[in-house]
Amino acid sequence: MTDFTLWDIVRNLLLAGRWTVVLSLIAFAGGALVGLVLTLARMGGLKPIRWLIRLYVDLFQGTPLLMQLFLAYFGAAVLGFDVSAWTAASVALTLFTSAFLCDIWRGCVEAVPSGQWQASRVLGLNYLQSMRHVILPQALRLAVPPTVGFSVQVIKGTALASVIGFVELTKAGTMLNNAAFAPFTIFALVALGYFILCYPLSRYARHLEKKLYGAGIR
């Protein structure tokens, strides 16, 4: 067994931490894009489309992310697709994120008081014009704090990608511990890594929320 200095551990965790960050960014960017399309389709779309999107949201919200990862990885293999842990983790986390963001954003659009719709309708704006000039700008302001808040869940969610062999912060911690047998130090450092990523975001979300309410928007 080799001797690990603290620096060795930290260096290895930092290297693996990059992939936690990259996977989070992919999941968040992909999830935001898919989520936006779903949100708009859900609000303007036909009944069957709305129903399908709701089913999609319910499915992803009602099952553990771990199962979604298993299905994306092993399920795809069963179906004959050869997917890497990277692809499976990116796809599963993107879909997971999109379902939650779709729900958060729909809530924000609906939270804009109906009087705003009526006022813009009475002024002659059609559906798209009302959306663009009146509803979405207000929904957007409402959406920023919960969206930033949810990004914390995405970051923590990437830890589960370790179970399909994706080497990110958590997986690196497990591997290091297998070699160095210093569980307390190593997992404390892993936890610290997540905290350093998540804490500023949750602080920022809280700050945004305060600012929003302070501005008397609602």
Partner 1 sequence: MALVSVKDLHKSFGELEVLKGIDLEVEAGEVVSIIGRSGSGKSTLLRCLNQLERHDWGTIVLADQRLDGAAMSPGELSQNVGMVFQSFNLFPHKTVVENVMLAPLVVKQTPRGEARRIAESVLAKVGMSEKVDAYPAQLSGGQQQRVAIARALAMNPKVLLCDEVTSALDPELVGEVLRVLEELAREGMTLILVTHEMKFARDVSDRVVFMHQGRIHESGDPQTLFTQPRTPELSQFIASVL
Q: Are 155 and 197 in contact (CB under 8 A)?
A: yes
CA distance 35 to 117: 23
Spell out, one character per residue from 189 to 218, where the chain touches partner 1: x when CB under 8 A holds, - when not: --------------------------xxx-
Q: Would you mind telling me the total number of residues written for the chain in this entry?
A: 218
d(CA 95, CA 92): 5
The yes or no reply on residue 109 touching partner 1 (CB under 8 A) is no
Distance CA 175, CA 178 (A): 5
In this complex, which beta carbon is closest to partner 1, that of residue 87 or of residue 116?
116
Q: Please identify, using beta-carbon distances, which residue of 98 and 120 lies nearer to partner 1.
A: 120
User: Which of the stretches 14-22, 88-96, 112-120, 179-187 binds partner 1 when contact is defined by CB under 8 A?
Assistant: 112-120
Q: In this complex, which beta carbon is closest to partner 1, that of residue 94 or of residue 130?
A: 130
Coil, helix or strand for 216? coil
User: Residue 41 or residue 212: which is nearer to partner 1 going by CB?
Assistant: 212
- Part of the chain binding partner 1 (CB under 8 A), chosen from 26-34, 36-44, 86-94, 118-126: 118-126
Q: How many CB atoms lie within 10 A of CB 114?
A: 8
Which tokens hold the place of 141? Answer: 């302001």
**Nearest Cα to 171, choosing from 71, 64, 86, 61?**
86
Restricting to residues 135-154, name those near partner 1 by CB under 8 A.
Answer: 137-138, 141
Binding site for partner 1 (CB under 8 A): 113, 115-116, 118-126, 129, 133-134, 137-138, 141, 215-217
